[in-house]
Amino acid sequence: MGLAKTIGSNKLEIAFILPLLIFIGFINIYPIFAAIISSFKLPSGYSLLNYQILVRNNNLYGVIGNTVLLTALALTIEFALALATSLLLNRAIRGRSIFRTIVILPYGVSTVVSAIAFTFIFAPTGWYLNEIFNVLGLAHTQINWVRGPLAFLSIAIADSWKTFPIVMLILLAGLQSIPESQYEAAAVDGASSLQQFRHITLPGIYPFIMIALIIRAVQEFNILALPLVLVGYTPAFLGTLSFSIYETFVLGSQNLSSAAATVLLAIVMIFIIVYVTISNRVTGGEE
């Protein structure tokens, strides 16, 4: 079929989809390439100098390490919470619908607001977590939860609060896709519930786990709004990639900021390729 004929018989489809593609090209693809080009730009021409400055002055490798650490921490916490909650919700227990409503609540609390709520818990002087420690007699000094290495833990916990319900819903869909008959057969064969979990449940929800974790990893790599409020934009702030981008941008160095952003994009692209490969394998290329 010739191109002209293809276009002729699919006018409606083209009219329906072209505006979206043009819009995405203008508002999404163009800025991506503009940022990449700007990252190589100097007043005198093009070079790798912006990247060299990032490595030398902005501790690029350390920053990437920090980002990986934060991502690993947050994903561990939210995955544990999500798995436990989805297993609970998959049982026919009383109060399940109330519990489901409670679990979905953080989804409605915007990121900036959830960061304020966790400020009340983690703030160094006189707030709840230190108070609880003092009451229990565990610590009498005021621990600063939002500085240094502890900040990673605080951010990971606060972020898990906001995002684990979504991971949970994906895992729950996975659990519900496992046919009940598999468990019945296993029970007849005398498999313990731990064995059932290992040999039926885990393999059954494996693709769902991978999809949820990869998408969340990408978002965790980009995390900015939450630490900006919780840890603050102060000299001792947390060094992650997205923070470096924001910092260099605020300090007025657009090209440097673009270089950091391009590094972030490159890492995110790796995640996306892994995601596409996995979802391809899971669904045989259907979606």
Partner 1 sequence: MWYLALAIISIFILFPIYLLFIVALAPSSEIFRSNPALIPSSVSLSSFIFVLHHYNITSSLFLSLETAFIVMGICLILGVPASYTISRLPHKVAYAIVILLFVTEMVPEIQIAVPIASVMVRLGLDNTAEGIALAQSSIILPMITYVMVGTFRTIPPRLRESARIDGASKLKSFTSIELPLALTGISVAAILAWLFSWDEFILAQVLSPYYKTLPVAIYYYSTRGQGGLAAADAFAIMMIIPVIIIVMVLQKYLRSDVLAGALK
Q: Taking the complex as a whole, how short is the minimal distance between the CB of residue 235 and partner 1, in angstroms? A: 14
Nearest alpha-carbon partner for 241 in 209, 217, 273: 217
Q: Does 235 help bind partner 1 (rule: CB under 8 A)?
A: no
Would you say 112 or 185 has its CB closer to partner 1? 112
Q: Does 188 help bind partner 1 (rule: CB under 8 A)?
A: no
Window of 23-31, 42-50, 62-70, 136-144 that interacts with partner 1 by CB under 8 A: 23-31
Q: Does 218 help bind partner 1 (rule: CB under 8 A)?
A: yes
CB atoms inside a 10 Å sphere around CB 235: 5
Would you say 95 or 188 has its CB closer to partner 1? 95
Window of 19-27, 58-66, 136-144, 192-200 that interacts with partner 1 by CB under 8 A: 19-27
Residues 135-174 that bind partner 1 (CB under 8 A): 161, 166, 169-170, 172-173
Amino acid at position 234, single letter? T
Residues 96-125 that bind partner 1 (CB under 8 A): 99-114, 116-121
**Binding test (CB under 8 A) with partner 1, winner from 30, 46, 197, 206:** 30
Residues 39-78 that bind partner 1 (CB under 8 A): none
Window of 33-41, 49-57, 68-76, 197-205 that interacts with partner 1 by CB under 8 A: 33-41
Window of 60-68, 143-151, 181-189, 270-278 that interacts with partner 1 by CB under 8 A: 270-278
